[in-house]
Amino acid sequence: MPSSSSEGPVIDRLVSANQRYAAEFTDPGMDARPVLKVAVVACMDARLDLHAALGLELGDCHTIRNAGGVVTDDVIRSLTISQRALGTRAVVLIHHTGCGLLNLTEDFRHELELEVGQRPSWAVESFKDADQDVRQSMERVRTSPFLLHTGDVRGFVFDVTTGLLREIDPANGPES
Binding site, by residue number, is: 43, 45, 96, 99
Which residues fall in the annotated binding site for Zn(2+)? 43, 45, 96, 99
| Residue 71: other Cβ atoms inside 10 A | 27
20 CB burial (10 A radius; 0-12, 13-18, 19+): exposed
- State the Cα–Cα distance between residues 43 and 101, nearest whole angstrom: 10
Phi first, then psi: what are they for 102, rounded to 5°? -65, -25
The β-bridge relationship of strands 153-158 and 165-168 is: antiparallel
